[in-house]
Structure 1
Amino acid sequence: EIDFRGSARMDDILTIETRTEDISGARIFMAQQLKRGGEVLVEARVEAAIIGESGRPRRFPKEWIATFMP
């Protein structure tokens, strides 16, 4: 899900802020903001999955959870 609020220009300095909202099984849910200074240009909600070598989903490693969750 993505919401474009404004556009950037070639020499703009941009910041992308990402925060983890939830981890469930093989999936991680994150919220992102792309900013120019204090102005939010883009907001996004991202869902990603961990996929094993077999191509099948695998559970999010427990040792990673502390790193991704505040």
Structure 2
Amino acid sequence: MNITRIIGILLIVAGALALVYGGFSYTKDTTAVKLGPIELSVKEKETVNVPIWAGIAAIAAGGLLLAFGSKKG
């Protein structure tokens, strides 16, 4: 299996996950106040939405890589 086929498969999987879940979220730790030895930290939950067109484009690009990437001309 060459690198082009692996990238194509990864793009198809990532595009499918983007269509199924629509985005992802993560938690970011930030320091709110630091006063001498006392430090207050805040955990913020950030959400990133992945557009539908990006998922479709990733699937299409992965399919094109699988179809045409391994052919040597």
TM-score (norm 1): 0.29
Q: Larger % of helix: which?
A: 2
Q: Larger % of strand: which?
A: 1
Larger relative contact order (CA 8 Å, sep ≥ 6): 2
Highest CA radius of gyration, 1 or 2? 2
